Structure 1
């Protein structure tokens, strides 16, 4: 069976992920993502109203024209998890393909939100849910399997395409977490089995975001302990404490909510994306928030919540807000600019339970936001966080478990691939032979 891989997006920079695998006449697309930084550098851009071609020209979504060169029919569109760099282009591109969108239940819920907000295209692809540990037939002798992984968002999977020539493992995005906060541990047992079944693993496509970092990525339970210790250190402080994290990081948000109660404060979730992700997780039973948890997304309701906090005393509340990357329109940045009723004072605490995404736009915006907060006297508590991506020892473990015949690094810049290439070469792979460093828009023929 002919096996071909089209590396469409995410192979020259982090963001706008998209990969297609052709097995015979059957094609499966993995991810359709957005590069948000390409949008944020423009003022007042509303992607919902924009044409896909304009977004492609902007570098915000994948240029999928290479798909016309693949001889086969798209049988499924498979987003691995609900981050925008993996689902943010579905509303712009999915309608071009007569294929269902297949994802885990929480990811499907977030995809629905993307489709409901779309104002340019009508997307009527079927939405099919499948959980980690389940499989479905895709075509003649081709099967799609979901393997549960842990990441900085719940309900993430690595899809595996089983073909007569061996398995294609699409490894974006994950960390190996044996002690997660809200969900099952990483399914390393299944990856080891796949590496030794049938023809083994023909190709492994891997997220190399943190390949430069030595050691292993710690568990979310470590971040939870660090966060609890930090908040406990503020238990006697009577002024304002504000926390920010990734809105999609439901495990982290749930820890913040829990620890707010422990130090005698009422948690309130503020910001559109905070309400979107946490509201979906609560509706679907992934998290059990207190009945009186406030959750507000619209500007007016957020400002009413801030007025209540000021009227009843900042020492009684823990606002958990958007803006961990310094996004100009997010809650925390507005607070730093003095555009909300919440008044920061000398000594007030701001907890960043997140790291800066290593990208110039984010770094600049985050720096500016921190400066604004510090000018008002805020004390910054930074990097109370663990990454959602594998470090070097995690990469070694995955290559050792899967023993793939071919490896394709992804989710990085050309410069960023270097540490992963060195690691893979140390395990016997050679660039140009079985280690394929590629660019967006290329095709790799694995079996002719």
Structure 2
């Protein structure tokens, strides 16, 4: 992984600049900005979901502050597919310039439009399909079909006089896709014959040997769940995983069950997929969840969100007993999704909660109920051999994935010097046939917290963690500002900090001593006295209890 932190130089004439704003070193927040001839093209604009050490955060956005002043130069945003980590940040970008053209496939754009309704944004959309050519400013675009865990996914070829870039998006090479839409390897080979100067390749499964299993091979395991369950089947999946939910609908229909969707995003996305014909729903199969109360358990299938342990998602609330749908003894819960790195603890907490309630939990670890939507090492090598790119930039993955993908490219004959391993913020210039990391732009995590975007900082997250782990003590002190002495013992109000009636007596003595020292320094300002008290109580708490609570001091003049 390149370590440069130097700002990039001015872009050379006839050079193409690639700025990675997300998706490198992480799974999510995919966003790449291409610059050529004074214009900008954005590919994907997704979100990253928070981890446990980011309490209260809803999603994390890419930081596009370095080109915010140039939003008028953006000719389009190209979306490779409809997953949240590729489209979820689009509403926030459009808040800043609503008329940016959004280019994508039919399903991708309709999923986005349904999302934008909640933000009261009407986008300027340009629908494309595989095989289509489109010019936007100095960028000539060509779209190629790829299969993934959501229909209508696209790779994009970007042509400028600086060279040809092929960006795979998220893809795999399923030879038996459920919708019959295969990755366009003929198109990849044709572009290889033309000469791919920079190949940007999905790295998520680069460290997994062989070839990714076909979606069709999951059918027996899913059918087994429906065949052997005597009560309700509850399925949790990503709200955009149309292929997997199609398999669930097929199994439910075959075993005489009805299906209800639970969770706003699940209901919304499945309605879009059904309306467009991507989800084939037998007549009468899907019913409103309210009808389930009048049906016997063996007739019921619930499909909900929460497969990653998200605290407010339906499945997590069921596991905690905080949902109108109560999990009961004999129910089977099917987690039909992958385990995203960083979510392990949250997912196992949900599994344990469901198990405690008597459910049989079927997941990737104990049954063949999930396959990845990403190409494994064998597929990546196959692509390198047919494309034979001049330069390779691994994208979409954590550091280990990017490194593994780079090594695969090198083994197929791409020179090591032509396989830069970049991180978020890195700037890669394609100039005279070479792709090199030339600098780095400063970027930060942009947190969405309710209606607030960017207001939460690393310092405020640290304070939230302290509140959650160490507790809070409020100290109300009546102080004579002339003598800097306590007029009476202070009041201590503590939350999340174990104490009894005598706990704070030593703290009172410490405050008195600190105020006496402040008198010697002639400190009379109330704000400064509050700082003195806060610091002394924090030091006392650590010495006495090995805790570092948040201390809120309130000084009142006697």
TM range (shorter): 0.7 to 0.9
Contact 1:25 1:72 in 2 (8 A): no
2:312 aligned to which of 329, 354, 376 = 329
1:27: how far off?
A: 2.6
Counterpart-to-counterpart distance in 2, 1:403 and 1:228: 42
Residue in structure 2 matched with residue 376 of structure 1 by the alignment: 357
1:339 aligned to which of 302, 308, 322 = 322
Instruction: State how 1:22-421 maps to structure 2 within 5 Å.
Output: 22-37=35-50, 41-43=54-56, 60-67=60-67, 73-96=73-96, 99-118=100-119, 123=121, 125-140=123-138, 142-197=139-194, 200-232=195-227, 234=228, 237-294=229-286, 302=289, 304-306=290-292, 308=293, 311-359=294-342, 362-383=343-364, 384-421=369-406
1:4 aligned to which of 2, 14, 17 = 17
Contact 1:22 1:72 in 2 (8 A): no
Counterpart-to-counterpart distance in 1, 2:39 and 2:181: 32
Backbone CA RMSD of aligned residues: 2.4
Does 2:436 align with 1:446?
Answer: no
Counterpart-to-counterpart distance in 1, 2:252 and 2:75: 46
Greater length-normalized contact order (CA 8 Å, ≥ 6 residues apart): 1
Contact 1:22 1:70 in 2 (8 A): no
1:400: how far off?
A: 1.2
Which consecutive residues of structure 2, in runs of 5 or more, have no partner in the other structure?
1-13, 433-558
Work out the number of aligned pairs and report it. 414
Counterpart-to-counterpart distance in 2, 1:323 and 1:314: 21
Counterpart-to-counterpart distance in 1, 2:100 and 2:71: 15
Distance 1:346 1:18, change over 3 A: same
Superposed CA deviations along residues 221-270 of structure 1, whole A, max 9, x for unmatched, are: 122343234433x1xx4322222222211111111111112112112222
Q: Is the partner of 1:37 in helix, strand or coil? A: coil
Bigger shift: 252-261 or 339-348?
339-348
Contact 2:158 2:166 in 1 (8 A): yes
Distance 1:72 1:96, change over 3 A: closer
TM-score (norm 1): 0.86
Counterpart-to-counterpart distance in 2, 1:321 and 1:83: 16
Counterpart-to-counterpart distance in 1, 2:72 and 2:300: 56
Counterpart-to-counterpart distance in 2, 1:379 and 1:112: 37
Distance 1:2 1:268, change over 3 A: same
Contact 1:66 1:441 in 2 (8 A): no
Superposed CA deviations along residues 257-314 of structure 1, whole A, max 9, x for unmatched, are: 1111211211222221211111101111222212323365xxxxx5x345x1xx4211
Superposed CA deviations along residues 388-440 of structure 1, whole A, max 9, x for unmatched, are: 01110111011112111111111122233222222222223344x21011121
Contact 1:26 1:138 in 2 (8 A): no
Distance 1:214 1:46, change over 3 A: closer
Rg: which structure is higher?
2
Bigger shift: 150-159 or 349-358?
349-358
Contact 2:27 2:341 in 1 (8 A): no
Bigger shift: 201-210 or 342-351?
342-351
Residue in structure 1 matched with residue 7 of structure 2 by the alignment: none
Counterpart-to-counterpart distance in 1, 2:74 and 2:329: 58
TM-score (norm 2): 0.70
Distance 1:168 1:37, change over 3 A: same
2:410 aligned to which of 419, 425, 435 = 425
Distance 1:342 1:26, change over 3 A: closer
Residue in structure 2 matched with residue 55 of structure 1 by the alignment: none
Contact 2:253 2:285 in 1 (8 A): no
Contact 1:144 1:162 in 2 (8 A): yes
1:128: how far off?
A: 0.9
Residue in structure 2 matched with residue 54 of structure 1 by the alignment: none
1:365: how far off?
A: 1.2
Counterpart-to-counterpart distance in 1, 2:243 and 2:86: 19
Counterpart-to-counterpart distance in 2, 1:42 and 1:137: 43
Q: Is the partner of 2:74 in helix, strand or coil? A: strand
Q: Is the partner of 1:288 in helix, strand or coil? A: coil
1:352: how far off?
A: 1.4
